[in-house]
Amino acid sequence: MSNAPHFDIDVSAFWADPYPALARMRKEAPIAFVPQLGSTVFTRRDDIFTQEKRIDVFSSHQPAGLMHVLMGHNMMRKDGEAHMSERTAIVSGGVAAHRARPWVAQFQAHADRILDELARRVRPISARRWRCRYRRMPEGHHRLTNMRYQDMDAWSQAMIDGIANYTGNKEIEARCTPPPRASMPRSTT
């Protein structure tokens, strides 16, 4: 249990817009235990920067934490050498120029097609229709991983919601369960 000052929040209001509560917390108790979240919250950048390095007190290893439960023990929930070992493997494999160039060309070509289509339109496009067009930008990536962008978007949002599900909403948690590999959509291209 944290010995930081307690700071109560209205969970529904916090979920809808956390900024008013965070501003009040920053002013009244910049380091506070929020019982509704079961967590100690830091609201100032400098406090976060210095304290996150104190892994003896604020370890990323949280076996009962939402991210660990929903996604397994991954790099984001490891400290020290275990974290750096995985991070180094990911970074060194992802920045090689020979791997980056095809992605840049594919993304640029896809973005150019979308922008050319928009430029040909006579009437202004609505915000809703623009969002639909914009969401198609990463299609090239999804084609390579054999999934539709709608599925990737839905699964990604479900995971974001799941690791922020501090109130234990079972519906949100259920959406985070990955689909069986056999049921994943297959690309036709």
Mean of all residue pLDDT scores within the chain: 76
Whether 165 contacts 66, CB under 8 Å = yes
Q: What is the mean pLDDT of residues 93-114?
A: 68
- Helices 127-135 and 97-120 cross at an angle (nearest 10°) of 150
pLDDT, greater one: 44 or 105:
44
CA distance 168 to 179: 21
Radius of gyration of the chain (CA): 21
Residue whose C-alpha is closest to residue 21's, from 33, 5, 36, 10? 10
Judged by phi (left if over 0) then psi (alpha if -120 to 50, else beta), residue 6 lies in beta
Q: How far apart are CA 68 and CA 113, in angstroms?
A: 40
Report pLDDT for 8: 96
Q: Are 86 and 75 in contact (CB under 8 A)?
A: yes
Distance in angstroms (rounded) separating the CA atoms of residues 1 and 3: 7
Q: Indicate the burial class of 141 (C-beta count within 10 angstroms; 0-12, 13-18, 19 or more).
A: middle
pLDDT for residue 47: 93
Q: What are the distances in angstroms from CA 153 to CA 135, 149, 185?
A: 9, 6, 13
CB 137 within 8 A of CB 111: yes
- What is the model's pLDDT at position 44? 94
Is residue 106 over pLDDT 80? no
CA 111 from centroid of its chain's CA atoms? 23
Whether 49 shows a pLDDT value over 70: the answer reads yes
Q: 94 or 88: which carries more pLDDT confidence? A: 88
